[in-house]
A = this chain, B = another copy of it.
Amino acid sequence: MELRTRIMGIKLDEPRAVINREDADKLGLIAGDRVKINYRGSSLTAPVSISNFAEKGSIVIFLDLAERLEVKDGDFVDITRSDSQLSVELIRRKMAGAKLSKREIEEIVSDIHSGSLSNVELTAFILSLEFRGMDLEEIEYLTKAMAEIGTMLDFGGGNVVDKHSMGGVPGNSKDALIIVPIVASAGLLMPKTSTRAIMSPSGTVDTMEVLAPVDLKAEEIVEITRRVGGVITWAHAANISPVDSMLIERVEYPLRIDPEPLVYASILSKKYAAGIKKLIVDIPVGEEAKVEDMRDARRIAKNMVELAERLGITAEAAISYGGQPVGRCIGPALEAREALEILSSKGKGSGSIVEKSLSIAGMLLEIGGVSAKGKGYQMALSILESGKAYEKFREIVEAQGGDPNIRPEDVELGEHNEIISSRSAGYVTRVSNKAISMIARAAGAPMDKKAGVKLYAKRGDRVEVGDPIMEIFSSSSARLSEAIKLAQSLDPVKVEGMILEIHGRGPVQI
């Protein structure tokens, strides 16, 4: 049946079509059925609502669905009743614990990509991965299906390397801004493509976007990488592993979950699609990091290396210290500023972030074959200290369309800010990853780029009463107040005397 589209200018983030009761009766449709909407060779299915809000002869759809079909308000589309959706039946089987075949996984990925699954169905799929898991074979098929449904980059046999961090530690989004220019300076190609932050206050893309556009098209990524050696861009904009962003935005971000099979598929589908041949995976481990236990870290490292191999990628996994935030700045603008300071000062700045960046850059130089084994760190350090990394970074920023002359102090921070001071004297015994993340997010990060937390005290530092321990920034005074409230209640930075407990003195005096 031909129906005229009426497009509501709102993105619904899930498929929905509304048709008139009379048209529904003609099509034999009842509430809860799906319709297949066909337009110029494209099609998708959507659950149908029957309402006289849709006039006879018309179909009401929402903006995202219209964009996907490239249909304009008033255009005619062809509507048929859709039989039961195979992918939904497959999701039900996964919920029941079945192992899915290659073809079945491709069917689900294809329906997610076409926008045919409702949020209820998509959530059921992701939670079935959380609770039922997938074996390595299923994850391999999922990874390939996610990559191959989008754009596959081709660098024509170049020495293409990349690194990816599992994340979960605040302040960790900026190391790529230091690593990419070091590695590119040494002649390797490093097209770093990432997604935005899911649970953390900033992802690499959020941080880089403070300094330059990150929505590069696929051709631009290939061209710039070949010309200057590297980019730091948003996978979604280049249609790299497009389903990954959809899962994150629609389900993983709202629920703050990250099922293990999807952790692998998310990271490796992007790397596989981006044409990466050699990969370092960074797995931070520590209290309140995403991975808290060394045994888990080793299992994840092993799986990651094996899965990468199934995709033809040579990978190494580095388990790193993740027991407190990396560096002193958390939040997109703050982290961009910190990276820029380190680069422009040729290596001065917070020891933890400089050290970590050089270690991973060194591993990349070694796996990429431009440094001898065991000499990568030293080579990375020379490149940073020589100022070549800073020059390379400016080239990358310029190539992506940013201002290469921006100085750290030019990076704008939230106009509303407040310093939190220590209420006791002693040594910092703990900086809570979770609390710092929550405070930075309450202040507005990562959506509010200027929001975040600057730490003035980290583990082992001596502080006196009244010394500043952190500063919170936000673009909104309302959000700043909320972040301050959290900072006061969560005890994010623990200050204690060096003597924590005394035993053997008889009964404890209270």
Contacts and interface: CB of A to CB of B under 8 A. Distances in A.
A283 interface: no
A9 interface: yes
A252 to B, nearest CB: 10
A233 B32 CA distance: 23
Contacts of A447: 30-32
Interface string A232-260: 00000000000000000011011111000
Given A53-B9, A124-B123, A30 B255 contact: no
A485 to B, nearest CB: 9
Given A83-B482, A92-B256, A256-B92, A444 B30 contact: yes
A417 interface: no
A32 B251 CA distance: 11
Contact of A8 (B32, B53, B255, B478): B53
19 contacts: A8-B8, A8-B53, A9-B51, A10-B18, A10-B53, A10-B60, A14-B119, A28-B477, A28-B478, A30-B444, A30-B447, A88-B255, A92-B256, A95-B127, A118-B254, A120-B122, A120-B251, A121-B255, A124-B257
A254 B92 contact: no
A11 interface: yes
Interface string A123-152: 110011011100000000000000000000
Nearest to A416: B28
Contacts of A47: 254
Nearest to A27: B478
Contacts of A88: 255
Contacts of A130: 95
Given A124-B255, A255-B121, A448-B30, A10 B478 contact: no
Interface in A334-362: none
Nearest to A444: B30
A105 B209 CA distance: 42
A16, A60, A478: residue with the most chain B Cβ atoms closer than 10 Å? A478
Contacts of A454: none
A434 interface: no
Contacts of A254: 32, 47, 118, 120-121
A431 B49 CA distance: 34
A95 B27 contact: no
Nearest to A18: B10
A476 interface: yes
Contacts of A81: 478
A381 to B, nearest CB: 39
Nearest to A25: B476
A241 to B, nearest CB: 21
A39 to B, nearest CB: 21
A440 to B, nearest CB: 13
Contacts of A250: 120
Given A10-B18, A25-B476, 7 more contacts: A9-B53, A10-B60, A12-B12, A32-B253, A92-B256, A120-B251, A121-B254
A394 interface: no
A479 interface: yes
A53 B118 CA distance: 22
Contacts of A131: 127, 131-132
A95 to B, nearest CB: 7
A11 B51 contact: yes
Given A28-B476, A444-B28, A49 B10 contact: yes
Contacts of A128: 127
A60 to B, nearest CB: 7
Contacts of A10: 18, 49, 51, 53, 60
A375 B311 CA distance: 72
Closest 9 CB pairs of A and B: A28-B476, A30-B447, A9-B53, A123-B123, A131-B131, A28-B478, A127-B127, A119-B119, A28-B479
Contacts of A14: 119
A487 to B, nearest CB: 15
Contacts of A120: 119-120, 122-123, 250-251, 254-255
Contacts of A475: 28
A250 B47 CA distance: 12
Interface string A274-308: 00000000000000000000000000000000000
A364 B475 CA distance: 67
A90 to B, nearest CB: 12
Nearest to A84: B442
Nearest to A51: B10
Nearest to A123: B123
